Amino acid sequence: ITYVPEPFRIKMVETIRLLTREERARKIREAHHNVFNLRAEDVYIDLLTDSGTSAMSAEQWSGVMRGDEAYAGARSYFRLLDTGRALFGYEYVQPVHQGRAAEKVLFPLLMGPGQVAISNMFFDTTRAHVELAGARALDCVVPEARDTRAQVPFKGNMDTTRLERLIAEHPGQVAAVVMTITNNSAGGQPVSLRNMRDTAEICRRHGLPLVIDAARFAENAYFIQQREAEYRDWSVRDIVREFFRYGDAFTMSAKKDALVNMGGLIGVKSDPALVQRVKGNTIAFEGFTSYGGLSGRDLEALATGLEEGLDETYLRYRTGQVAYLASILDEHGIPYQSPPGGHGLFIDAQAMLPHIPYTQFPGQALAVELYVEAGIRTCDIGSFMLGNDPDTGEQLRADFEFTRLAVPRRVYTQAHLDVMAGALIAIQARAAQVPGYRITWEPPVLRHFQAELEPV
């Protein structure tokens, strides 16, 4: 497929450098084969995450200068409130410093010990905040998400049949249902509007609040326009509004689709009592309601970013980048979670490195190779990230062994994508020689950020 040209030109640049192969091999050894231990300046193309790594626009940067830094009642706050209300149709929108702060503020107000929350798939931090609130987190994604080769348009969907069953199995215990858009852990896969409507109907019937984890709400809406026939003629903006109509509240990491380096939001549709409690927790954890842990300039950049993230020309280019990379990999039979997702490609490392068992972390092995091969930093989304069973201490087996190439927004060019594809093709040619890894040291929780490894 052809590359969709950038709908922008470059006004400011940041130099990146490629170390020699010998230096890269040394750096990753010194980092104990954990990409989180690398210095960013030793990375040539950084695909560790699409979170907080976007390039801001000239409009956003000029907003930074206009930001109102008043402690209470800043103009920038009201601009953000108006923008959020208009886009999502929610009565209240609360800024916070990032996505997990939104979760920390909202989740304890919805759930507690002895309860469960059910999601199409929890992201690590949403799962952690469900558990910190004392509840248990259950994943309920459609089964076809687990087959990386299945060409299904909405692999991020909630399995609504299983949702009904889980609700029946936990009578009176389900505190909330969480719809993650796009479904990050399943590969940036979208959720259809039909699935959202069906899920909302089930929630209404059982009197359960439906919370949207909305980090990639714009990419999800664009996929609905492209893939769900009923909405082909709708604008992305109208699709967003329609989608949010079925939710009761949302948490959002604004570091993704809202194109800022830091920021988050909580939305409440129409529940004045909940709004009051959200404000109370925000003041305790984040700061006064009119800034929520952000500077006035951040609020200004965020309000502009929310609008820019919905521009359809931009979204076509954005999803086009990922599809372009996927199309090169198709020519070489390199397997990934297909169809390509919104914020990056999730390489099926288990299929690419079949000789490495999950206990030796194929996703991590491929991440190390990509750094050595081309200075590209990615991360494991598999058994290395999942960790050990807290009760038995045994290595858990993840549903997927992915190496995620998360593409920052408005940052890399077609030539950079060609470098990514070239590196994967070179590694595929010597796949049988790629070693697995064993952990030599690990901390008790969230180990993948700090663990040390060595080749087997």
Q: Judge whether 71 counts as a catalytic residue.
A: yes
Q: Does 253 bind ligand F0G (CB under 6 A)?
A: yes
Q: Does 126 bind ligand F0G (CB under 6 A)?
A: yes
CB closer to ligand F0G, 398 vs 434: 398
Structure tokens at 117: 């929350």
Q: Does 279 bind ligand F0G (CB under 6 A)?
A: no
CB closer to ligand F0G, 253 vs 378: 253
- Chain positions 208 to 247 lying near ligand F0G, rule: CB under 6 A, are 213, 215
Q: Judge whether 215 counts as a catalytic residue.
A: yes
CB closer to ligand F0G, 54 vs 180: 180
CB of 382 to ligand F0G, least distance (A): 14
Residue for token pair 């999803």 = 319
Q: Judge whether 104 counts as a catalytic residue.
A: no
- Residue showing the smallest CB distance to ligand F0G in the complex: 99
Q: Which of 88, 92, 107, 123 touches ligand F0G by CB under 6 A?
A: 123
Q: Does 98 bind ligand F0G (CB under 6 A)?
A: yes
CB of 4 to ligand F0G, least distance (A): 23
- Chain positions 285 to 324 lying near ligand F0G, rule: CB under 6 A, are none
Query: Binding segment for ligand F0G among 123-131, 134-142, 366-374, 420-428 (CB under 6 A)?
Result: 123-131
Q: Which of 54, 115, 184, 304 touches ligand F0G by CB under 6 A?
A: 184
Q: Judge whether 213 counts as a catalytic residue.
A: yes
User: Which of these is catalytic: 213, 248, 257, 380?
Assistant: 213
For residues 256 and 51, give the distance between their C-alpha atoms in angstroms, rounded to a whole number. 5
Under rule CB under 6 A, how many of the chain's residues touch ligand F0G? 15
CB closer to ligand F0G, 4 vs 43: 43
User: Which of these is catalytic: 124, 330, 399, 418?
Assistant: 124
CB of 93 to ligand F0G, least distance (A): 16
- Residues forming contacts to ligand F0G in the complex (CB under 6 A) are 49, 51, 98-100, 123, 125-126, 180, 184, 213, 215, 253, 255, 264
Positions marked catalytic: 71, 123-124, 213, 215, 256, 448
